[in-house]
Structure 1
């Protein structure tokens, strides 16, 4: 008999994967909190070759003439080998432990090998079709060589809770895969076939294997099967069953917490209701009950708030503004949801404060709605002015061209300053589009690129998507020849089986960025501009957290992701390239992306250029490189969980004190962070090779209580624009602007409403809005 508890947990976990690391092997903890586990050691370079960028120590008599180098940490977790710069390591971040096989329940699977032949690596061209594993743990792999295809039969020979070993039975082609990559039904059959299922010791061993593999539902289901098969009451497994119940309860609680953080309130509530009350720690039950109570309170508020607002309006001494207030109340009522409800927190906190008038309470509600609860005011006339600004701003954003008349109307609104306009824009939902947007439902869109060509792109919003919540973005670039739908499902999953972006609350964007479909990406500016334009459109139409935008690609899509990150290092929180080979040209401009976190994934025989990797490591780049031994031409799905764990720790790095940039493609303007350089096309056209670059260097110096100095120190451009944000400059201080030593400005400046509006309308960047700009 299958337990009701197991069923409820299965339903809850169909939508959400929870992964718990095993405390084994060495632990490598980076400064950003990311953790790797495996056998670790220090090496000089990924190919054991000391790259030419190493320099001899100068000025240190003790080390005079010796080569200095930045060591690389290599971490082998049996499935893949990680490489990271030693500089990324946290203080005391390397803990050496022992990973003893005796600490795990392991199983050997007998497979018949016959006359294994070797595959000459020099003939290797890639891997073709790979069939699923059958009930015997075998599969077929087609290897492409210059002499034709080779059919390799592989079999699973070793089961570990974290990994499985797969050996070639007719050819020497052995790999190690994640245990999670084996279908549950196949894994179950292999476990049963490798042990005496009638032996209670082996029964416990299989149950423990599932627990160690973080497959607690499968462990519980296995014990249920034993109880049913042997017609026992299961008492002999009660201690194991209790451990499983506790783990499942904790997982479900963690899922509830995660869903709350992602704004998936309904799914969190369903999971909370499914959580059993037995075998749960009291403090966990307290948190669950607290959430259920808050959920009920929120639902009650959704129903009662429009009525309360109407009642407060009826209590006003003066009803001249009733038409405006009626419209505002209708909009708020329509936009009310659990995602938008926190905007009314100031109103809820003071709702029953007898010292506040009805007018002040309405002001707190309606101003908090458009500025955020922290910026709410109790002045109703000011609030009405701000709502007028919101309506005009929407009209301005909808207009095809810059509308000077609308700008003047917005400027004329009393008490609208830069701070309030910025808060209004940051809390403004996207301009409603004709295409309805539903969480978990794919939206297919088109845009006209800068050459008036049509470009298609698909967006998969996260579950319970709300325009009142700002979401991280994964901009995913598919390899040439792959159906975009297949690529989208690889990252996001399907309605039946959700993938990582849906689980983790990401907006997934898949643009068909190639100008000519079917033609490989060839490191050209046209397609890079299309990628950039797709991101701008997504920021316009969806609610985006611009500090959490990641660009990822596979194959030549991975090459495009690398180029896009190097071209626009201030747009992304990180770059992911899977099986990208790195264009040789990237050797000459990779330092543009030195501020970016990089996560590169590949197989041992994918043909990645180690020279660039070594340069990046020696330059202390924020780089993780994951290499899968003896594998080639795959997408390496095992890395997805690690990728998203890593992304959760990254944020865009803006407002650089020093900017160093090398323009490398024929374009007239280059904007990096707060500086834009114009007139570069002529300079770039004169270069004899695209491997030559045009430099741009700028820096910021700030003296507290004195002034802020921004200066361009190296440039070949004919014009420059400085973009000034409140994070970059204190507007109570004097601003000094210089270009190559020539002072262009020295004065106290005021925020410019028109600059704020134009900047937002151009970039839709809610996290960084410029208040002023100066062109020279």
Structure 2
């Protein structure tokens, strides 16, 4: 059962995690000292994630922050404390079943420091002004801003250390402070840890047995932390200092095996996200004499899998070309350019397009039907082939005309293309809708925009004076290694704080450029994400202003990037730091139909965010904050109230609080962030049949399939004059798709609406659609014209979910 007691705020709690994977992998735990883990609990979430720690139920976010008791019966909030951070969830909306007990952190190393019994508590914290490295005594000096603006220097020391976090406390000093801060162990560099551990080995009265035990404790620590090179160094030191120590070779082999398993997993991940050449480099680096038989077999199987895919590509193209040679000369001439395109473009990602062709290989289809299956499969996607060769050949022309339409800036040429399409038998709306996601981007990134030395980094647009009113896109984009325009990539739209730069966002998410290795080694790179960093601020801007202009800059940049790069429109995450996080939060709930999720790190929510929580039901949300952040601390009731609005039974929302931290960018959270983004459930939600949103700003006028054609007077609140507004209230936008092909607009602050339609939203476009607004009825018959679909894609750049038709009401 979940612990319903509120956790204390200042206790020496030894949270624990799982037993080290590396110890399990090597199978010789008995060769080390006996380990005893402290139990934790694992919680399975409805979004597919697992979180672990000590689990508590709380009556509210406010109570959770204050960590105070009370007699409230209802406790809908679940808090999971892993020692480093506290994760808050709404139980009914997020949790599956009861928590399960698991083994926790195996060992915690304690340091004998005198923490003050009393002193001034650090209760509010901004960003750290300066931090010295930990010395060999596990101490450091931190400089922070005091309540009166003065600079405070505080002596800290590590009092507990495990593979997840270090408990860092303020030590006795003049004056003394009470401050319990948790620091991720992953953020402490190896040299520092080695120096701290070396100091432990120099403690007085240690005999050789004590020293060996400490060495092995340190080796276990590094192994559980997956710092295999450090674990190897420790064991090699034992081998040098104590040559008669038994089984040391087995221990070293175990470390090598565990390290090899991690490297293999990395290579497998790279291959899965389309970085096959990088995966092959990893596999080719394995030396068979350094790893065991099982590991050698794993590597051989992985290479064989890559080779098999390439062999399948060669085989299917050979079959298709062989069969196409049996067609007449005119047919061969029509399809040869496409066959060349397929030869170049086939990969592990695109090969499934030809699944119907491969299946038909066993059915004895006539040659022309079989070739038609291959051609149409390439154009329409997996399982979508047609057997009529003339239709399939017509589809080649249709596809090329559609691509030209999307790339054209000439209205006259676009009109002519529509006329040409009207006379082609393959230009059916359902065919075109299937073609659109498979097209390469309609525009190219300018060659001159690519960075001189950083491969895959492009700067689009130019800096403009702050007074210039401009809607041209301005952003920086980083493509992943082995980028293939025929492959779909998830995308991170990263908003920098006004004091930062788009380049810093690329470094945070994709990693800084390594000149020696000639690549970025960050997590977006490893997971195959495109990172788009819009230049959304004006020169000299200090804060996010909640203006339509800021929204427009972000959305214009995103749409331009979608036209130029192969972004998966169902997997776009908007993220930010500081006021960039506030902007990301506001933009996410103002335009909820665009996003697979929101990540807000150290945000300061206000203004429209406090009113737009009804818009967030289809947007997964991940909020990261410091427990002592001034934003939370200055008005805990208001801040927790905002969070409680967003944490509800219908929401996929998490709040993560770092213990003992104020304002920070929390890079230590990045592994969790990518686990969250990679969850299968975190895709853009299906089009809802019911819209129940609010609006109160110009520009916030499109929700899923309903567009407001302007706002009524008195609806929009000027964000710059927010505090002078007499009445601040969001106006409801409600509409429903019902039975019998009917759509009802219940309310909305506009004189006129545009209803956008496509087949998968619960209506049948082959039948008359009835739209009701108040007492007025409007009927719509779809004429199967392609103009609305193609114009929608050209303007919104969403090739995965185009609208086929629209109707203005009334």
> 1-side partners of 2:673 and 2:547: how far apart?
27
1:726 offset after TM fit, Å?
1.8
Cα distance 1:760–1:162, how it changes in 2: closer, same or farther (>3 A)? same
Alignment of 1:751-766 (within 5 A): 751-766=784-799
1:303 offset after TM fit, Å?
6.3
Aligned equivalent of 1:343 = 353
1:320 aligns with 2:330: yes
2:375 to 366, 385, 388: 366
Aligned length: 729
1:577 offset after TM fit, Å?
0.9
Aligned equivalent of 1:643 = 673
1:156 aligns with 2:190: no
> 1-side partners of 2:648 and 2:352: how far apart?
47
> 2-side partners of 1:217 and 1:701: how far apart?
62
1:583 to 606, 611, 617: 606
Cα distance 1:659–1:612, how it changes in 2: closer, same or farther (>3 A)? same
Aligned equivalent of 1:429 = 440
Cα distance 1:40–1:115, how it changes in 2: closer, same or farther (>3 A)? closer
Q: Is 105-114 or 399-408 further displaced after alignment?
A: 105-114
1:524 aligns with 2:552: no
> 2-side partners of 1:689 and 1:49: how far apart?
34
2:401 to 389, 392, 397: 392
Cα distance 1:235–1:410, how it changes in 2: closer, same or farther (>3 A)? farther
Cα distance 1:366–1:244, how it changes in 2: closer, same or farther (>3 A)? same
> 2-side partners of 1:36 and 1:511: how far apart?
32
1:738 aligns with 2:772: yes
Aligned equivalent of 2:10 = none
> 1-side partners of 2:438 and 2:531: how far apart?
22
Aligned equivalent of 2:99 = 94
> 2-side partners of 1:137 and 1:764: how far apart?
53
- CA offsets, 1:419-475, max 9 Å, x none? 211111111111241535899632111279994255531111122221111111111
1:562 to 580, 585, 590: 585
1:120 offset after TM fit, Å?
6.2
- Secondary structure of residue in 2 paired with 1:634: coil
Aligned equivalent of 1:214 = 226
> 1-side partners of 2:553 and 2:645: how far apart?
29
1:773 aligns with 2:806: yes
- Say whether the 8 Å CA contact 1:446–1:456 is kept in structure 2: yes
> 2-side partners of 1:757 and 1:120: how far apart?
58
- Secondary structure of residue in 2 paired with 1:167: strand
Cα distance 1:139–1:443, how it changes in 2: closer, same or farther (>3 A)? farther
> 1-side partners of 2:236 and 2:458: how far apart?
42
- Secondary structure of residue in 2 paired with 1:581: coil
1:643 offset after TM fit, Å?
1.3
1:223 to 215, 218, 235: 235
1:681 offset after TM fit, Å?
4.9
- CA offsets, 1:597-646, max 9 Å, x none? 11111112221322211333356533211111221121111111111111
- Secondary structure of residue in 1 paired with 2:524: helix
Cα distance 1:50–1:221, how it changes in 2: closer, same or farther (>3 A)? closer
Cα distance 1:325–1:652, how it changes in 2: closer, same or farther (>3 A)? closer
Aligned equivalent of 2:662 = 632
Cα distance 1:185–1:379, how it changes in 2: closer, same or farther (>3 A)? farther
1:468 to 486, 494, 499: 486
Cα distance 1:424–1:746, how it changes in 2: closer, same or farther (>3 A)? closer
Cα distance 1:294–1:432, how it changes in 2: closer, same or farther (>3 A)? farther
Alignment of 1:694-713 (within 5 A): 694-702=731-739, 707-713=740-746
> 1-side partners of 2:273 and 2:225: how far apart?
26
> 2-side partners of 1:600 and 1:354: how far apart?
54
TM-score, normalising length: structure 1? 0.85
1:94 offset after TM fit, Å?
2.1
- Say whether the 8 Å CA contact 1:588–1:691 is kept in structure 2: no
> 2-side partners of 1:769 and 1:354: how far apart?
35
Aligned equivalent of 1:677 = 708
> 1-side partners of 2:678 and 2:306: how far apart?
26
- Say whether the 8 Å CA contact 1:448–1:455 is kept in structure 2: no
- Secondary structure of residue in 2 paired with 1:127: coil
Q: Is 288-297 or 432-441 further displaced after alignment?
A: 432-441
1:506 offset after TM fit, Å?
1.1
- Secondary structure of residue in 2 paired with 1:374: coil
> 2-side partners of 1:307 and 1:49: how far apart?
64
> 2-side partners of 1:575 and 1:260: how far apart?
27
CA RMSD in angstroms comes to: 3.4
> 1-side partners of 2:312 and 2:717: how far apart?
66
Alignment of 1:73-84 (within 5 A): 73-84=78-89
Q: Is 396-405 or 176-185 further displaced after alignment?
A: 396-405
- CA offsets, 1:157-186, max 9 Å, x none? 322121112223445243111111111222
> 2-side partners of 1:666 and 1:642: how far apart?
35
1:545 aligns with 2:568: yes
Aligned equivalent of 1:42 = 57
1:48 offset after TM fit, Å?
1.8
- Which ranges of structure 1 fall in alignment gaps of 5 or more residues? 1-5, 10-21, 52-65
> 1-side partners of 2:96 and 2:628: how far apart?
34
- CA offsets, 1:638-673, max 9 Å, x none? 111111111122121232122111111134x71101
> 2-side partners of 1:186 and 1:674: how far apart?
56
1:366 offset after TM fit, Å?
2.7
Cα distance 1:217–1:71, how it changes in 2: closer, same or farther (>3 A)? same
- Say whether the 8 Å CA contact 1:70–1:620 is kept in structure 2: no
1:301 offset after TM fit, Å?
5.9
Cα distance 1:358–1:222, how it changes in 2: closer, same or farther (>3 A)? farther
Alignment of 1:223-262 (within 5 A): 223-228=235-240, 230-231=242-243, 235-238=246-249, 240-241=251-252, 243-262=254-273
- Say whether the 8 Å CA contact 2:94–2:652 is kept in structure 1: no
- Secondary structure of residue in 2 paired with 1:430: coil
Cα distance 1:149–1:430, how it changes in 2: closer, same or farther (>3 A)? same
Aligned equivalent of 1:691 = 728
- CA offsets, 1:240-280, max 9 Å, x none? 44544453343334333322321121222333444576876
- Which ranges of structure 2 fall in alignment gaps of 5 or more residues? 1-21, 26-36, 515-519, 633-638, 719-724
- CA offsets, 1:676-726, max 9 Å, x none? 122315342599547222221011223xxxx23221111231111111122
1:757 offset after TM fit, Å?
1.3
- Secondary structure of residue in 1 paired with 2:671: helix
> 1-side partners of 2:717 and 2:310: how far apart?
65
- Say whether the 8 Å CA contact 1:515–1:526 is kept in structure 2: no
